[in-house]
Structure 1
């Protein structure tokens, strides 16, 4: 029996390994990726780099020690080197490290680059001769002295800007590329390595781009000065992370909101293109009925990860002029991915994915392609005799149009490469029943769905149920293991209670089901679905949760007398609202709530807009700023659970509450939780509040996560058992 097998299951969950940042080598034969534990030690975030061979199960091996925070691995375009970021020499600063061969670091020490800069991200030039990187302004000596002497007043608007730099790998010379006091958010190389495109924000303030937009500018690399920039275009919203791609046909792709002026909007693809000598931008695809999360480029093609309902998909977004097609689709979460064009033709796709009780692992598949003598373009996916074909007419006198047959790869066509979480997976070897519950919204305008998961192959009776509500609100639940929507492993935790743990008697198992609703304001269903979050918190989202619980009870799946609600962030907000509203509003014979788990939620949304580190986002949820005389103040009033106590807060109408919150949460400050706990105390409502030192919005320290999961399990057992 291994050490991991001897651990209590909660510790195994917290120690589960998370795969991220996949990068495929130019040859398509190797994959490098990061691995980290779900929980980490206080003040000591670490991750290691691993290498695997494409299509070869079990071929993965550890490249770096795991004693440092090694991340953001990237192969050089010529395939001779790989680079990554690490804090191995300076605890608070990150530098670029380059390995000439992907051997474990014990055999080959990486070279350090970047001087004194604290680097946030970097990009190889297409010719592998240079690296462009982003680094925030450093503190001046006078600032250090002032900080040490405690004469360090902070002036709002005295920003530390992130700026672009160029590292010449031959001479090791570093040049700053841009002198203006603006925030360089991201960049992309031109295919010929002669230019850099910058995505520039006015300030580093989170969300400020929704007021000032994004400015695109181009820097010529070899004949540049720090002022020789060429204005390209202004875009009215932000560029979303991991999305700026400069394709071979001189078009630039990126993702932003379908309505880019709003924070709460579905994600669409845009492109910049030249027209009559000038650059212009326009909406390219997606965002109406689905949402695009990230983009990649491979040999001139642009690929995107798309959320479509409950499915995560990989799409080809462009082949030459126009094309669209689905390569892969499954009702599961893809947490990391990459695609690489092969010299002999075809592509390699690598995915890190999970299912409800199957932790993340790495998978690969190869797609073959060729151009025949008639210049028609074909792409054939060789997987279980399934073919996906692109056909094109390349007549110079005709506009080139292309079509792709949408036949996604079957899930079993992928090859599993890694087994990082095999011991945990064995411990979670439960027979579960999963189904999708669907119904109409209360206003009969929208199709809704929720996941119902029970610890049996086929439940024969209605079960006590945890209603777990996802955060965001721009997010969604699907069949996944360790994602933000899985509430820090709550689903796996609750399902695991059906099996006695080591040392327990056989009678200590608890058979609880889970219902996870997808409410309006979330992702994967396009703009009309996502737009409900704008000025809609506490309205249709609340109603949708009620409707889906009603449907589960109607189908005989949920025990209406044993229901607990819970969630994190936006899910915490809705859990607070359900705690203060549901039992009061329910009819005499209707279902009520026995308890509410409120994780990092807000209880006064006007105060949240004034104190959050993302004020534009929070204000948009309630329809505008508290000082706006034209705003409908009833939205914030209705969405603020703390204000329900003024008339209705008693132990007879509000169920028992478990409050969980990080003490250093800047997104939803801990005062939101403290205020609700005081209201509960004053009104005699049973309430336990637990706050976690040093923790931000999402809890990450190992001991804190163990404590949190233990409390969630005990709370559910207490309020759902007979």
Structure 2
């Protein structure tokens, strides 16, 4: 797998600034050509129009024998590169014609220019959300909303824009673009269902299509269905419903029989680990058997990737590391091919499956594109942040410890830059990850939300725990938080803090806690359970699980975490016991609250509710709302503000 990353810079040559954190470019979306010779990828960086990130498309040889060539100039959001079946041209989306509206573009790779000439293939009002070049070489399948009708334009012009809930979000439909004529036809047989993903059978046969009943996440993710669509006749064969959060469609063939696999939450659970589910699509009627191919595994599938000439590949989260597996057709079990320290993501394979490309990150190296044989070693093809090697980072250590009930846990410790454990104890900030079905891998993370090294370079030790509920340890580990958030997951975190105090790393009088999303919930929960923390940061966090079930994007899935909705009848409700707002009267810790004004995942009302409770009880706090932002921070000025504000908050109180 990836070669060992460069070690820590022995001597600092530059200070880490907030500008460097937010302006460093990031490699995204690798795509290996079908013949395995070339790898395309995107590069995203700040400084685009309106203060938002822009993207460019790059290409290089998969063996690293030539340097990367930039195909687009990066003045727009050029993203999502995908290859034509003959490996001679590249499709991608770009908003260069109209900011915020992506259209399909094509570049023919003749190698004659540094910046290649892109050909616009669509001018679809409303834009293109995804694309899939088909194996006939003449057709591209597109996902796009309906274009606005004259009546829609009249209503918008006259502000006659009442939203009828349930019909207020436009559905994405499957459309087929003829590259020779430019004609775009819509597949009508899917009705009003919202199409979210597709994959063509590698023999040039039908498309597997995943759809929801509605574009709304709740109930969309719980109403997923599979369909088989003939791209010639546009006829639709419905395979019936599949599980929650389904994604990553992958066809594969064994002994002449075509299978269709995908990822979904382990069947019969609303909360739990992902599983690989497989079926054999019948000629007519719905699929009658769905097999769990990962049952009992202690690792967690994160990506499933179709291979044209063989069984699918998959990435699995394995504790702090990531492993590459392949399905064995005979046993219907996944077998490990290789493993790598840290994070692997964005897996893509050649037609033969012998060569792969992906993003890899280790403790001191950010995600970059790597490629090579399936069994490794992989060669790094991109280098988007060489300036980061001039910074002295805090040493990142792996932690392994036991929870109070004996469960084995892991996490990471980042020591203050230039310091060793012998220099402790240090002020310690615990940063809790989101999800909760997420994890900290032994990778390099530096952004406005996961800012561990940002704090380490300012003299803080940073603890990154992986409590139960996260990925990397199989389904059962992840399912333990169902209806019990803030319980054992909190004591898992506390056990790690106690260990670091006992080891002399953490100063018990200078403890802070922070997190974003579910991590923001845990931070708010923690300061209602103990006064050990001298400062906290709650980013886009949940204060009331009942309100979250009723107003957040994920709805009933959040209710499964919190334990109830509030509409079961008069309280007290289970979710009241798990909501930080219920313990606001106990809080004495100064709190920094950060939230996006247009967040629909965790609506702004969660932060307002918590702010008003803290104000009522006279708790020192600062409440910051970022206009135009959703569940994260996209605009450069907001990212800079958050970084500086978080560090200043801990400098003030720790």
State the TM-score, normalizing by the size of structure 1: 0.82
Q: Which residue of 1 aligns with 2:479?
A: 531
* 8 A Cα contact 1:40 1:700, kept in partner: no
* 8 A Cα contact 1:357 1:492, kept in partner: no
> Partners in 2 of 1:571 and 1:418 — Cα distance?
31
Q: Which residue of 1 aligns with 2:580?
A: 641
Q: Which residue of 2 aligns with 1:700?
A: 634
Per-residue deviation, residues 405-453 of structure 1 (Å, max 9, x unmatched): xxxx5xxx332222220012222x33615131311x2334x22222122
Q: Which residue of 1 aligns with 2:8?
A: none
* 8 A Cα contact 2:363 2:396, kept in partner: no
* 8 A Cα contact 2:482 2:562, kept in partner: yes
Q: Which residue of 2 aligns with 1:451?
A: 412
Shift of 1:192: 2.8
Per-residue deviation, residues 383-423 of structure 1 (Å, max 9, x unmatched): xxxxxxxxxxxxxxxxxxxxxxxxxx5xxx33222222001
- Decide which of 56, 66, 81 is 1:48's aligned counterpart: 56
Matches within 5 A, 1:607-686: 607-629=547-569, 633-646=572-585, 648-649=586-587, 654-686=588-620
1:195 paired with 2:206, answer: yes
Matches within 5 A, 1:199-210: 199-209=210-220
Q: Which residue of 2 aligns with 1:442?
A: 404
- Decide which of 13, 27, 42 is 1:34's aligned counterpart: 42
Q: 1:234 to 1:303 in 2, by over 3 A?
A: same
User: Which SS does the other structure have where 2:644 is aligned?
Assistant: helix
Q: 1:287 to 1:266 in 2, by over 3 A?
A: farther
1:365 paired with 2:372, answer: yes
Shift of 1:114: 5.7
* 8 A Cα contact 1:270 1:284, kept in partner: yes
Shift of 1:107: 4.3
1:145 paired with 2:145, answer: no
> Partners in 1 of 2:46 and 2:466 — Cα distance?
25
1:19 paired with 2:27, answer: yes
Deviates most, 607-616 or 26-35: 607-616
Q: Which residue of 2 aligns with 1:370?
A: none
* 8 A Cα contact 1:39 1:700, kept in partner: no
- Decide which of 273, 298, 303 is 1:266's aligned counterpart: 273
Shift of 1:297: 1.9
Shift of 1:604: 1.8
* 8 A Cα contact 2:138 2:179, kept in partner: yes
Unaligned ranges ≥5, structure 1? 368-380, 382-408, 498-509, 584-591
Q: Which residue of 2 aligns with 1:543?
A: 491
User: Which SS does the other structure have where 2:109 is aligned?
Assistant: coil
Matches within 5 A, 1:113-512: 113=122, 115-116=124-125, 118-158=127-167, 159-179=169-189, 180-209=191-220, 211=222, 213-224=223-234, 228-240=235-247, 243-249=248-254, 250-259=258-267, 262=270, 264-274=271-281, 279-286=287-294, 288=296, 289-298=298-307, 299-319=309-329, 322=332, 324-342=334-352, 347-367=354-374, 381=375, 409=376, 413-427=377-391, 429-430=392-393, 432-439=395-402, 441-444=403-406, 446-455=407-416, 456=418, 458-460=420-422, 461-482=424-445, 488-497=449-458, 510=459, 512=460
> Partners in 1 of 2:485 and 2:279 — Cα distance?
34
Shift of 1:693: 1.1
User: Which SS does the other structure have where 2:72 is aligned?
Assistant: coil
User: Which SS does the other structure have where 1:147 is aligned?
Assistant: helix
Per-residue deviation, residues 580-639 of structure 1 (Å, max 9, x unmatched): 2212xxxxxxxx111111111121221222221221222221123210149x84532222
> Partners in 2 of 1:266 and 1:30 — Cα distance?
34
Between the two proteins, the alignment pairs up a number of residues equal to 631
Give the number of the structure whose alpha-carbon radius of gyration is greater.
Answer: 1
State the TM-score, normalizing by the size of structure 2: 0.90
Q: Which residue of 1 aligns with 2:7?
A: none
Shift of 1:322: 4.0
Shift of 1:19: 1.3
Q: Which residue of 2 aligns with 1:402?
A: none
> Partners in 2 of 1:668 and 1:597 — Cα distance?
16
Matches within 5 A, 1:92-131: 92-101=100-109, 103=111, 106-113=115-122, 115-116=124-125, 118-131=127-140
Per-residue deviation, residues 286-318 of structure 1 (Å, max 9, x unmatched): 264221111112222201111121111221124
Q: 1:617 to 1:237 in 2, by over 3 A?
A: closer
> Partners in 1 of 2:448 and 2:329 — Cα distance?
38
1:595 paired with 2:535, answer: yes
> Partners in 2 of 1:38 and 1:259 — Cα distance?
40
Q: 1:672 to 1:481 in 2, by over 3 A?
A: same
User: Which SS does the other structure have where 1:247 is aligned?
Assistant: strand
User: Which SS does the other structure have where 2:19 is aligned?
Assistant: helix
* 8 A Cα contact 2:243 2:264, kept in partner: no
* 8 A Cα contact 1:491 1:514, kept in partner: yes
Q: 1:430 to 1:102 in 2, by over 3 A?
A: farther
Q: 1:140 to 1:469 in 2, by over 3 A?
A: same
Shift of 1:319: 4.7
Q: 1:78 to 1:284 in 2, by over 3 A?
A: farther
> Partners in 2 of 1:188 and 1:351 — Cα distance?
19
* 8 A Cα contact 2:448 2:643, kept in partner: no
Q: CA RMSD in A?
A: 2.5
* 8 A Cα contact 1:487 1:568, kept in partner: no
Q: 1:626 to 1:38 in 2, by over 3 A?
A: farther
Q: 1:129 to 1:276 in 2, by over 3 A?
A: closer
Q: 1:433 to 1:48 in 2, by over 3 A?
A: closer
Shift of 1:457: 6.7
Shift of 1:328: 3.0
Matches within 5 A, 1:72-83: 72-83=80-91
Q: 1:333 to 1:320 in 2, by over 3 A?
A: same
* 8 A Cα contact 1:595 1:656, kept in partner: yes
Shift of 1:106: 4.1
> Partners in 2 of 1:71 and 1:619 — Cα distance?
35
* 8 A Cα contact 1:19 1:360, kept in partner: yes
> Partners in 1 of 2:427 and 2:330 — Cα distance?
54
Q: Which residue of 1 aligns with 2:5?
A: none
Shift of 1:561: 1.6
User: Which SS does the other structure have where 2:96 is aligned?
Assistant: coil
User: Which SS does the other structure have where 1:208 is aligned?
Assistant: helix
User: Which SS does the other structure have where 1:365 is aligned?
Assistant: strand
